[in-house]
Every structure is written in structure tokens, then in C-alpha cells.
Amino acid sequence: MKDKIYLGLFNIFQWLVRHTPKKVLNAILNSLSHLIYILDKKHSKIIKTNLDFAFGDKLSKKEKDKIVKKCYKNMLYNLADFVKNQGISKEELLKKVEFKNEKILKEALKNGEKVILITAHYGNWELLPLSIAAFFGPLTAVGRALDSKTMNDILKRNREQYDIRMLDKKGAMKGLINDLKKGRMVGLLVDQNTAESEGILIDFFGKRARHTPSAALLARRFNAKIIPTFISTIDYEKYTITFYEPIICEKTQNSEEDIRKCTQAQADITERVIRQKPDEWFWFHKRWKNQYEEIYK
């Protein structure tokens, strides 16, 4: 029954996106995002808690409130773009994006190096792998399946365009290893909280947090380059994909310290990007829950 409800709501939203003039659609998305913001007390509280915890008094209440509202706007506009990208041609997709520092990735691929792209739930992160695969070539990425099978099928079809292979988060390491050996790029989202057994402690916004070491483990084992990659926009029409300087995982006698340093470097660049434009990060999740569960009560 839930699947039918989800599918029905999605179909209505899909029809609106595909048949409504841009100005009218934008007005609808703005109004709908504001309505959800008003009604969704649970998640708006999580966002405010995260912002207070990360920034303290370095951001004013007015600035934080603006970010909270923008989070909901981002969510609606990203969903609308997700609809627009279903079955889109490479040519039309690539008109939406521009690449910055693309030489970093081009040179790594030209030299036959193994590449691990890391990013966060930042900007239009669903558009990011599509754009990279459409322009640079085959990509393997990791994602958690949705609870709704019907909606997950829709999500999977969209994500697997342009020779993208999606691996389920559970047991993904084997597939990542195999595809790295085959010379495919692999992509990982590395910004979420992890369980005690799955993550290592790093500093994030000056606070302790659990962070996945997956990219570091792979990079150290295969001498791969970790290339931080983030997507951003100012108008939800044109997107900029920026490649940052590669992170090289050291290979000393102290493997544990090598992994920690490499993982910390990933957290550092993620924090740096978020601080530059905090309104594009997905502040909805309980990033510091593992170490500071009390702040979310």
C-alpha cells in the first residue's frame, strides 16, 4: 500500500515538473518547500541542532534560519532535476554542468591511475555521478537502497545511466575492489555518521565524529588517487563540478595511522567545502550522533 502511495505522489510531482512552465514550476517548488519546512518540525530541529553544534555563535540565528529554509528548497529542486534527468541524453545533461580543475581527473585517467572520487550529500549530488560518467567514462558508485522497492527501482534506473554501476552499501567493498582492478572509477559519499564498528574517529567542525575509512582502505591497498569532487549551484539551472587536489594515502609500517590521516584529510576537504557555502549541505542527518547522541534529544 505504501508503495502505491509513494508512486502516486511521485507521478503527480513528475507530471508537474514535465508539464508546468518554468516560472510557475519554480513558484510551486518554492511554496511547497516552505510548506514542508513549516510542517516538518522533526527534521528542521535536527538541522538547527547541527548548525548550532557546527558553527556555535559564528553564524547568527538569522543566517541559520536562512540555511534551514534553503535545505528544504534544495531538496525540492534536486528532486525536480532528478525527474528531468530520467532518460536525458548525454548532450542535454552536459549542458547543465561546467567542470572546474578537470585536468586533475583527466591526467589521472590518462596515466592509467586508479581513481576514487569522494563527495558528500552536497549540492545536487544525484547529478554529479551522471555528469562525470557522461563526460569521463564508466563509474561504479555505492548507495543505500530505498525501503520502497517501487521507488528504489526508479532511483536505480536513473542512477545507472551512462555505464554507471550501483552497488548496495551492504557488502559493497568486494564490488569496489573488483571494479578498481578493472580500471573503472569508483565513487563514494563519505559525509554521514557511521556505526561504531564501521567508522573511525576523526575531527569534523572541531568535534569528534565517525567517518567511513572505505576510500582510505582502497586507496592504500591499490595506490589509488582519492579525488574530492563537489557540485554546487547558485540558480538550480547551471551547476559547477569542482575537482580538488588528490589525497594520497601513505603506505608506512603503521597502517592504522595511514588510514586515519587519509580519512581525516577527506573530512577536512568536506568541511572546507561546506564552510564556503553551508546552505548546500544536507544538514538533515544526525552527523554527530555516534559521539554526541545527547544533542539530538
User: Which of the pair, 6 or 201, is modelled with greater confidence?
Assistant: 201
- Binned at pLDDT 50, 70 and 90, residue 139 comes out as very high
- 199 and 53 within one domain: no
Which pLDDT value is given to residue 2?
76
Residue 70, domain extent: 1-84
- 233 and 132 within one domain: yes
- Binned at pLDDT 50, 70 and 90, residue 150 comes out as confident
User: Which of the pair, 95 or 151, is modelled with greater confidence?
Assistant: 95
Indicate the number of domains in the chain.
Answer: 2
Q: What is the pLDDT of residues 112-128, one digit of tens each?
A: 999 999 999 999 999 99
Q: What is the pLDDT of residues 246-269, one digit of tens each?
A: 999 999 999 999 999 999 999 999
Going by DSSP bridges, is the β-strand pair 225-233/115-119 parallel, antiparallel, or unpaired? parallel
- 178 and 68 within one domain: no
Which pLDDT value is given to residue 160?
93
Q: Does residue 177 form part of some domain?
A: yes
Report the phi/psi class of residue 211: left, alpha or beta, with left for phi > 0 and alpha for psi in -120 to 50: beta
Q: What is the pLDDT of residues 175-233, one digit of tens each?
A: 999 999 999 999 999 999 998 888 999 999 999 999 999 999 999 999 999 999 999 99
Q: Does residue 295 form part of some domain?
A: no
Residue 274: partners with Cβ closer than 8 Å, 6 or more residues away: 120, 122, 280, 281
Look at 91-100, 150-159, 267-276 and tell me which has the smallest mean pLDDT.
150-159
- 187 and 107 within one domain: yes
- 128 and 222 within one domain: yes
Look at 2-11, 30-39, 91-100, 233-242 and tell me which has the smallest mean pLDDT.
2-11
Q: Does residue 290 form part of some domain?
A: no
Helix 2-19 and helix 22-39: axis angle, to 10°? Answer: 140
- 99 and 80 within one domain: no
Q: Sign of the C-alpha dihedral, residues 68, 200, 207, 240?
A: negative
- 211 and 136 within one domain: yes
Residue 38: partners with Cβ closer than 8 Å, 6 or more residues away: none
- 115 and 44 within one domain: no
- 105 and 78 within one domain: no
Q: Does residue 93 form part of some domain?
A: yes
- 33 and 147 within one domain: no
- 104 and 32 within one domain: no
Which pLDDT value is given to residue 166?
94
Q: Does residue 137 form part of some domain?
A: yes
pTM: 0.95
Which pLDDT value is given to residue 146?
82
Last residue of a domain, one of 61, 84, 107: 84
- Mean pLDDT on 138-149: 88
Going by DSSP bridges, is the β-strand pair 97-100/164-168 parallel, antiparallel, or unpaired? unpaired
**DSSP for residue 194:** -
Q: What is the pLDDT of residues 54-110, one digit of tens each?
A: 999 999 999 999 999 999 999 999 999 999 999 999 999 999 999 999 999 999 999
Q: Does residue 297 form part of some domain?
A: no
Going by DSSP bridges, is the β-strand pair 97-100/239-243 parallel, antiparallel, or unpaired? parallel
- Mean pLDDT on 3-10: 85
Q: Does residue 128 form part of some domain?
A: yes
Last residue of a domain, one of 84, 112, 140: 84
Which pLDDT value is given to residue 1?
72
Cα angle 288, 34, 5 (rounded to 5 degrees) comes to 85
- 96 and 10 within one domain: no
Which pLDDT value is given to residue 107?
97
Last residue of a domain, one of 84, 99, 134: 84
Q: Does residue 286 form part of some domain?
A: no
H helices present in 61-194, as ranges: 61-84, 90-94, 103-110, 127-136, 149-159, 172-181
Q: Which helix (H) or strand (E) holds 8?
A: helix 2-19
